[in-house]
A = this chain, B = another copy of it.
Amino acid sequence: MVRRYTNKSASRREILTGAASLAGAALAASTAEAETPTSNLPPGVPEWQQQPGAEVMSPPYGQPSPFEAGVIRRERTGGSPYPTRQAAVSLTPLQDLHGIITPNGLHYERHHGGVPAIDPAQHRLIIHGLVDRPMIFTMADILRFPATSRLHFLECSGNTQNWGKPDAALTVQDTHGLLSCCEWTGVPLKTVLDAVGVRDEARWMLAEGADSAAMTRSIPIEKAFDDALLAYAQNGERLRPEQGYPLRLLLPGYEGNTSVKWLRRLKLGEAPWQTREETSKYSWIMPDGSVRQFNFVMEAKSVITSPSGGQKLAEPGFHEISGVAWSGHGKVTRVEVSTDGGGAWSDAALQEPVLPKCLTRFRLPWRWPGGPALLSSRATDETGAVQPSREALLKQRDARSYYHYNAIQNWQVAADGAVTNAG
């Protein structure tokens, strides 16, 4: 028999004893005396245990509990800034999620011309331009190539609009919900590009979607031959319609917009195409007022998802601080958490597996003493990049900026436990 009270540090024991004193009520003696499991159930057998439940496959493709009906994608609190809901966003409910996987039904959306309903038997991928053998591929063709699967986050470069004065009412779904993470399966793009024979003079690749916006982006050829995927599955099953069914480009670590959905065309060329989405949109405004294009990689970033805006700490005592961190450059190596507005920082535990260009879940035990607190997290990635403060970020970018906000997120805890967005 293994001895089982080893490996508990004093501080951890203290924390858990504290948790136990809060969590759970002492059991009445009459209940504790129930002996046999099936013939003498403890008193208070619930109603749902007193008759048979639902059959298997109710339904064949399962759905969440009706008690979780509030866990859905949402538009931003206070209304959508977009002119139509076909060229708009929906946000992942990070405050309700656990671990690193986003279930497919809750993956964020950003569409420019709505979600097309594509028959995979009719879909084609065209590859042309500076290639030796221009080709058209069916989905059956794509599925014949050797495949790979990898866990990667996707983040819209418009995620987190904290450039201006923070709106205290926003939740983490509002501020950071253009962020999701799935296991993606597809064909390494390099394999298919080798098959068509990319010419030496090719330096850029145009990717075009089969949506009504014909969404197009210019991609550096190095990325196409690095870790790019022609993805057809997410979290085990085929892509969801709103994630590009039946085929999308997947560029790990790049701004989400470049992972072109409903992918129908790749063209190899010598220079970028200067499409709408890389001229009037998805560019940076620098402090001198100049505009910088082709800022692809999502920088080191993190956010505390619990506690977060709109939640309320029920009472002083133990609370786990938990959140997610990510970097488009590779692995997250460190997440620090402050509960006093950045005065003191503690290293959070990084939960395994820690994978490159993937969400990493971090956790830190915390004893809330009551009274105001300011909660912040700060990520570092394997390149040594450290998530900046808002002040530091605004020195690098003009305040009229819109994309690639990756500054530290702060949540204000009030004396009554209410949590609000502090930007």
Question: Given A73-B57, A89-B56, A242-B56: A103 and B237 within 8 A (CB)?
Answer: yes
Measured between beta carbons, the chain B residues less than 8 angstroms from A363 are: 146-148
Most buried by B among A38, A65, A145, A195: A65
Asked if B195 and A20 sit within 8 Å, CB to CB, the answer is: yes
Measured between beta carbons, the chain B residues less than 8 angstroms from A203 are: 1
Asked if B58 and A26 sit within 8 Å, CB to CB, the answer is: no
A4 to B56, CA, bound (A): 51
Residues A227-245 near B (CB distance < 8 A): 232-233, 235-242, 245
Asked if A236 and B101 sit within 8 Å, CB to CB, the answer is: yes
Check: A161 CB closer than 8 A to any chain B CB. Answer: no
Closest to A319 in B: B144
Contact of A136 among B27, B144, B275 (CB under 8 A): B27
Number of copies: 2
Check: A401 CB closer than 8 A to any chain B CB. Answer: no
Asked if A206 and B88 sit within 8 Å, CB to CB, the answer is: no
A149 to B1, CA, bound (A): 27
Most buried by B among A119, A134, A214: A134
A-B contacts, 24 of them at CB < 8 A, read A1-B203, A1-B221, A4-B190, A4-B198, A16-B194, A20-B135, A20-B196, A24-B196, A27-B135, A37-B267, A46-B118, A48-B117, A49-B211, A49-B214, A52-B212, A55-B115, A56-B242, A62-B107, A63-B105, A100-B236, A101-B101, A145-B320, A147-B322, A151-B353
Asked if B73 and A62 sit within 8 Å, CB to CB, the answer is: yes
Asked if B60 and A90 sit within 8 Å, CB to CB, the answer is: yes
Among A91-99, A383-391, A411-419, the stretch that binds chain B is: A91-99
Contact bitstring A263-276, B, C-beta under 8 A = 1, else 0: 01101000001011
Measured between beta carbons, the chain B residues less than 8 angstroms from A241 are: 54, 62, 65
Check: A133 CB closer than 8 A to any chain B CB. Answer: yes
Closest to A123 in B: B46
